[in-house]
Amino acid sequence: MTAHVALAVAIAALSTGQGKQLYGQYCISCHGANGEGVAQARTIGGAPQRIQEQQSARGPSLRGVGALAADFYLRTGYMPLHRIGDQPRRSRVLFSDLEIRDLVAYIASLGSGPAIPRPQPQLGNLAEGLHLFTDHCAGCHQVVAQGGVVTGALPPALDDATDVQIAEAVRIGPYVMPKFSETAITNTQLNSIVRYVDWIKHPDNRGGWAIGDIGPVPEGLVTWFLAAALLVALCVVVGKRLKRA
């Protein structure tokens, strides 16, 4: 083994080491000592509510979820979950980039699972993306991806989702979102979906003014407001001239 390889191995071991430690500190209570998950505690008849709550700390098994899920849940700030029973939400990311990489490496080491995807939206097709998004995603996220409502969960707006996170979410199906296999949505189709979501995040090329992208009626109204303001200004100027004359 060359010194180079030895060093790389040592660094890898060290990285996972910190991941394990962070895991012990922030994740173990819900996901178990070895990522096996913590089962939901049975309701014990007559036991005080407070004790039941304490006993019901739980999370799914992380074995085999791979770097993909770990990367998504940590970089969105979905994890660590603040309160048991909450829907994971995008929130402040607790960890540094290095800490995230270590945690991801540790979780990936718990079982063989998918790697972090590398979408290539530049190879996707916008029209196909719109079509696929309408078919598979808009029911929850709406056509303009501003979030929506499904029973028991709030599908978030997709403005903050990076290309990688969009691809990850599609493969994971976080919370009540369905999971899409590579048969249901191929990687090529996924490129088109990512391209479409990117496009609706920056719809500069839609024509008209970007006044919150709320459509032609308010845009027309703004034109009227401007026209009215111009008319008033014109009257003032003309009025002054008339007074002077």
164 part of the interface to ligand HEC, by CB under 6 A? no
**Binding-site member from 93, 116, 144, 153 for ligand HEC (CB under 6 A):** 153
Contact 196, 134 (CB under 8 A): no
Give least dist CB 144 to ligand HEC, A: 13
- The verdict on 80 binding ligand HEC (CB under 6 A) reads yes
Looking at beta carbons only, is 121 or 155 nearer to ligand HEC? Answer: 155
43 binds ligand HEC (CB under 6 A): no
CA distance 204 to 33: 49
| Residue 111 sits in the site that holds ligand HEC (CB under 6 A) | no
Separation CA 48–CA 65 (nearest Å): 35
Q: Between 25 and 43, whose beta carbon lies closer to ligand HEC?
A: 25
Amino acid at the residue 112: S
Residue-wise over 24-44: b if at least 16 C-beta within 10 A, else e? eebbbebbbeebeebeeeeee
The tokens describing 230, both together, are 């111009």
Q: Which of 134, 10, 132, 110 is nearest to 61 (CA)?
A: 110
The residues, ordered by sequence, that sit 6+ positions from 187 with a Cβ below 8 Å of its Cβ are 117, 119
Q: Per-residue contact track with ligand HEC, 219 to 238, x per CB under 6 A? A: --------------------
What's the closest the beta carbon of residue 68 comes to ligand HEC, in angstroms? 8
Residue from 140, 171, 189, 200 binding ligand HEC (CB under 6 A) = 140
* Residue 23: count of CB within 10 angstroms of its CB: 23
Asked if residues 67 and 105 have their Cβ atoms less than 8 Å apart, the reply is yes
Q: Pattern 178-207, binding to ligand HEC, x per CB under 6 A?
A: x-x------------x--------------
Among 81, 116, 144, 164, which residue sits at the site for ligand HEC (rule: CB under 6 A)?
Answer: 81
- Lookup: tokens for 57: 């700390």
Comparing CA positions, the residue from 189, 204, 214 lying closest to residue 131 is 189
Is residue 176 part of the contact set for ligand HEC (CB under 6 A)? yes
Residues that bind ligand HEC (CB under 6 A): 26-27, 29-31, 59-60, 62, 65, 69-70, 73-74, 76, 78-81, 84, 87-90, 103, 107, 136-137, 139-141, 150, 153, 155-156, 158, 160-161, 165-166, 169-170, 172, 174-178, 180, 193
